[in-house]
Amino acid sequence: MEQIKILDDLYLFRTMNQDINLTFNQYLLLGSRPVLIHTGNVQQAEELVMKIKAILGKAELSYIYFSHFEADECGGLGIIHSQFPQAKPVCSQVSARQLRGFGFNYDFVVKAPGEWLETPEYKLDFISYPAEMHLWEGLLAFEAQRKIFFSSDLLLRMGVASATPVEADWHQEIRDITPQQVASPEARHTLQQTLAALPVKYVATGHGPFLTV
Ligand SMILES: [Fe+2]
Ligand SMILES: [Fe+2]
């Protein structure tokens, strides 16, 4: 697992899966209430725990935010939570319901699109992510202080990812969102309009390089 300091207070953790030619990214945003963005799967989470502990030292992890219910986004939640039991999972209502159905009875912070999570050092604005089976609603997040869009599976790149940020065109990225990513034409259009209105400076992809736009 690679560890890259992207900004003074933002770490990226990355694992390449050669079999599917895809990297898997998780992020740690520091501050008085550190937040982990995605847990990785179980194997990734075990490595992640050691890295987070080394970075945080005596500080506690406050939140574990994940965009939707899938192995690479929240499969490692049990492992991360067992090591940071005070950390509250932050997710959509559907994700919390799914996880409770699998026996994860944590103190979830359930957020809806249009709501936010604000601390002194960051503000995560949540956006609807209608991308899962049954068009289940997940949550994308825009960090308003640094203008970082956490794109999850929405804006991604296959293949080996560069260790340094890659330049991209924000509006082209939005236009490139495919029906495979958001199947409903109406939901895709609404999402594209919502994203186009955001003053995004960075895209923290779930898979691929970190983008500057
Ligand atoms: Fe996913
Ligand atoms: Fe993913």
Distance from Cα 56 to the centre of ligand 1, integer Å: 27
Q: How many CA atoms are closer than 13 Å to the CA of 91, on its beta-carbon side?
A: 31
Q: What is the CATH number of the domain that holds 104?
A: 3.60.15.10
Specify the pLDDT at position 70: 93
For residue range 106-142, list pLDDT tens digits in order.
Answer: 999 999 999 999 999 999 999 999 877 677 889 999 9
pTM of this prediction? 0.96
Cα separation, 49 vs 65, in Å, equals: 15
Rounded Cα–Cα distance for residues 192 and 173 (Å):
10
The number of domains in the chain is 1
Ligand showing the shortest atom-to-Cα distance for residue 129: 1
For all residues of the chain together, what is the average pLDDT? 96
**How many distinct helices (H) and strands (E) make up the chain?**
6, 14
Q: How far is the CA of 9 from the centre of ligand 1 (A)?
A: 25
pLDDT at position 144: 98
Q: By residue range, what is the domain housing residue 191?
A: 2-212
Q: What are the distances in angstroms from CA 111 to CA 72, 91, 101, 102, 155?
A: 20, 6, 18, 20, 22
Q: How many other CB atoms are found less than 10 A from the CB of residue 183?
A: 14
